[in-house]
Amino acid sequence: MRNRVALVGYAHTQVVRHADRPLGAQAVETARAAIADAGLRLDQIDGFVSSSLLPSAGGRAAEDGVSTVSSAWLAQHLGVEPRYVAGFDGIGQITGSVGMAVNAVASGAADYVLLHRALHNPAGKYHANPMRQASGPLQWTAPQGFFGPLAMIALPYNEYLQRYGARRESMAAVVVEARKNGARIPWSYWHGRPLSTDEYLEAPSLFDPVCRYDCDIPVDGVAAFVFTSAERAKDLPHPPVYVAGYAAGAPARQRLPLHWPLDDILDGGAHTARRLWEQAGITADQVDLPQVYDGFSSFVWFWLEVLGFCPPGEAHRFVESGGIDSDRPDAIPALSGGGALGNGRMHGIPQMLECYLQLSRRAGDRQRDNATIGLACHSSPHFGGAVVYSAEAF
């Protein structure tokens, strides 16, 4: 599959806390804009993929077109009759969606595939626990307060702090970097609003040691991308960005719900990275533009280490010394697109979009010179995945 399929167009809404239009209406409009951006007609799109999800731990019901948007719903409301419609439901949702789009084009199941991600932020408390009783495996965690993503990430974050002697000042460098870059992006929720180290350190703790700014803010937003074959991409208006390879995490060890020990994350992530480099046919030192996932700030440390950008246990020192400062020519620009912390909770879309914009030379004032190979990471290293993109077929 290497370099046989390319990204050829995109569209993105403004990222807001609560949109004044239904999610489905935004998705239809964004899909049309992405198709036009690719220089295509609506009737040429014959494939749709997504990984629709209502990202809330509050037990709210998912309603297609309202709180989520599936591939089938979008195709239907665009008024087309595609040959291929699929939704990914597994480990590494964005990675899985990209893989489905690539496989559909490479196999001939579709000529032009639209991939979209639509995120909704329901009103009310995002992590409210609606359970009145806990059964099954949850009976061993929820009654003790171990519920939701904050508890899940606080465990390995604490493990890392204690094992490697890391400090919260080092994590401040992660969040300040993400917000600095997000503040430069017009569609970002944090546009024009960088964060200082003092503001980070003074923020209230939510689930020790996780503070408010360690979490990406829930938002409404939609992004869409168009994929086609490398051969067809030559006739379209924008420079193509090729998919060089991808890999997703394997099922983790059997654990209680949301039990993510640090060793599971790092060991599983190392396996993901090995599969990624093997499929893409490159090594970490060939990547010009790594975009690591940061739905929680500690994921940045974990990804940097499993990918081999710094030694195990050294990511906190690496970051604090300016190792990911995108304004430094000798640094790794791991959050140059702002990530989730700098844009809002768009999952892995900011990472994917930054790779596309930079490698297709469409990043405007933010354009980085000589970026030819990008890497977009999604979710946790052991539970998500990563995609390698290239400006040139190799």
Average per-residue pLDDT in the chain?
A: 94
Q: Which domains does the chain have, with CATH numbers?
A: 5-123+218-234 (3.40.47.10)
Confidence category of residue 57, pLDDT binned at 50, 70, 90: low
Q: What digits encode the pLDDT tens for the residues 173-186?
A: 999 999 999 999 99
Residue 101 has pLDDT above 80, yes or no: yes
Handedness of CA 273, 246, 171, 124 (dihedral sign): negative
Give the distance, in angstroms, between the CA of residue 3 and the centroid of all CA atoms in the same chain: 21
Percent of the chain scored above 90 by pLDDT?
Answer: 83
Residue 52: what pLDDT? 81
Residue 250 has pLDDT above 90, yes or no: no
Query: What value, to the nearest 5°, has the Cα angle with vertex 17 and ends 217 and 381?
Result: 30
Confidence category of residue 142, pLDDT binned at 50, 70, 90: confident
What does the pLDDT average to over 282-300? 97
Q: What digits encode the pLDDT tens for the residues 264-275?
A: 999 999 999 999
Q: Where are the alpha helices (DSSP H) in 296-364?
A: 298-306, 315-320, 339-343, 349-359
Residue 55 has pLDDT above 80, yes or no: no
Listed range (72-76, 111-115, 257-261) with the worst mean pLDDT:
257-261
- Which element (helix H / strand E) includes 171? helix 168-182
